[in-house]
Amino acid sequence: MRNIVLFFLTFFAFVLNSCNNMEVPKKQSEEGTKFMAVDLFPTSERPVGQKDVIELRTEAIDTVRIGFIGLGQRGTGAIFRYTNIKGVKIVAICDIIPEYVDIAQKRISDANLPRADEYAGEQDWKTICERDDIDLIYVTTNWMLHTPIAKYAMEHGKHVAVEVPAALTIDECWTLVNTSERTQKHCMMLENCNYDFFELTTLNMAQKGLFGEVKHVEGAYIHDLRWLNFAENENDFTGYVNNWRLEQNANNNGNLYPTHGLGPICHILNIHRGDKMEYLVSMSTNQFGMTKYAEEKYGKDSPAANREYKEGDMNTTIIRTHNGKTIMLQHDVASPRPYSRLHTISGTEGFAQKYPKTGIALEPHAHSYVSDTEFDSLMLAYKHPITKEYEEKAKEVGGHGGMDFIMDSRLIYCLRNGLPLDQDVYDAAEWSSIIELSIKSVENQSMPVHIPDFTRGAWKKNLKVTYYQ
């Protein structure tokens, strides 16, 4: 018995002593352990003399003169749309593949419009940016050229519209922001999904309070692109020129194409208009789909089946905002499954989702979706004024069902009226920044990574997204 008592006394003395020796920082013992998101890309001060471009208004342009750079799958579609938009002039067109320039020129002549000046040299985009008879440079090249062209264009006095994603790295995001602020030129990323019909309607619903306080949103780019990434015929629009997109998937692992899912929900959350994205965590599955596809298409011994593809099939990224909202974002271009951008909105009063099943649910019956009849009447009642204005022509001209035409029409309308654009350079930087930030998080076991404030504090200036009319 005495031995047992002695054993317990010794044991408690040991435990007490160990506790006394433990180094518990005061903050931890009072508030619990805190691990902060890693600030991998600290924000530097805004250079002296440079000012923010929140709600940037520039001189109204009567006829917007445009230079188009990159005339592949996306660029030729853009040319067609612009032949249907009033108040523009297609001044110059450029691609390194002369046949693509011919196709674009034919689209212009088919619309009985004057021929555009043609360029086909690797560096000719510089010459176009240097011209003094162009107002807007429209960039639809591969991702790697987006920021270099956008920067050069702004530095040569042009506004810029650049395809998604506008930038590939945080460094490039800052290049866009700093160049736009320094030159006071517009830099709009062409995020067309913000203009889709359900997206615009739900933006209007959110702004009118139908969902109450929106607290959680979801977006995605789930699109089986294997047939395009592994296409063989480079010159017949069935693949990406020089397989640039396959190389991006081979060399990076994260959310490589975040903006289609993120754009519409960031506007619903008023990001950098009273709230801001603060940090993210990101996780990828292993890669399975690309190798399997390459094996089936080219054989197990083929180089395509035996090389490395870093991009995990499904990447899931979760973002928390300053005001305590969450965003779930997914990316998968390598799985046989239906297309989805999710577009989910969850608020204190209701819910909406576009994919996989389009529906709305509202209190006090939010346990189930509203009936088809109620859905139709809600869609009509909350139709966005912009949709009302453009939908008829948009459906006629097309471009992803019409949203591309609405996007282009809005860009031109704002430029012609000297209005702030619907999407500014901070949107472009924030939405594109998820690429490198998610890559860093995935590389480090989903480490929380801080999201830079590209507005450098100006996110509090306005409290709501406005599409000016």
Min dist CB 317 to ligand NAD, Å, is 18
Of positions 83, 142, 326, 335, contacts ligand NAD by CB under 6 A: 142
Peptide bond between residue 356 and the one before it cis (omega within 30 degrees of 0): yes
**94 forms part of the interface with ligand NAD (CB under 6 A):** yes
- Is residue 428 a contact residue for ligand NAD (CB under 6 A)? no
466 token code pair: 């406005």
431 binds ligand NAD (CB under 6 A): no
Find the DSSP H helices in 184-314: 197-207, 226-229, 244-251, 259-268, 289-298, 303-306
Name which position in 41, 54, 70, 104 contacts ligand NAD (CB under 6 A). 70
386 binds ligand NAD per the rule CB under 6 A = no
216 beta partners: 326, 346
Region class of 340: left (phi > 0), else alpha (psi between -120 and 50), else beta: beta
**What character string, x for contact with ligand NAD (CB under 6 A) and - otherwise, covers 146-185?**
-----------------xx---------------------
The answer to whether 287 touches 334, Cβ cutoff 8 Å, is: yes
Q: Which of 68, 100, 152, 174 binds ligand NAD (CB under 6 A)?
A: 100
Residue with Cβ nearer ligand NAD (67 or 347): 67
Using a 10 angstrom Cβ sphere, with 0-12 exposed, 13-18 middle and 19 or more buried, the burial of residue 283 is middle
Number of neighbouring beta carbons within 10 Å of residue 311: 27
Query: Which CB sits closer to ligand NAD, 233 or 286?
Result: 233
Q: Which of 41, 68, 125, 454 binds ligand NAD (CB under 6 A)?
A: 125
By CB under 6 A, residue 95 contacts ligand NAD: yes
CA distance 286 to 288: 6
- Strands in 135-263 per DSSP E: 136-139, 159-162, 187-189, 214-222
Stretch binding ligand NAD (CB under 6 A), from 29-37, 72-80, 219-227, 337-345:
72-80
**Both tokens assigned to 274:** 């009273």
Mark the segment that binds ligand NAD (CB under 6 A) among 19-27, 68-76, 168-176, 448-456.
68-76
Nearer to ligand NAD, 125 or 197 (CB): 125
Kindly state whether residue 82 participates in binding ligand NAD, applying the rule CB under 6 A.
no
Amino acid, single-letter form, for residue 21? N
Residue 261 sits in the site that holds ligand NAD (CB under 6 A): no
**Contact with ligand NAD (CB under 6 A) among 138, 195, 240, 309:** 240
DSSP state of 168: S
Residue nearest to ligand NAD (CB): 72
Question: Cβ contacts of residue 48 below 8 Å, gap of 6+?
Answer: none
Shortest distance, position 235 Cβ to ligand NAD, whole Å? 9
Q: Does 122 bind ligand NAD (CB under 6 A)?
A: yes
Give the count of beta carbons closer than 10 Å to the beta carbon of residue 57: 15
List of residues 6+ apart from 70 with CB closer than 8 A: 94, 95, 139, 140, 141, 142, 145, 163
- Residues near ligand NAD (CB under 6 A): 69-75, 94-97, 100, 122, 125, 140-143, 145, 163-164, 190, 192, 240-241, 400
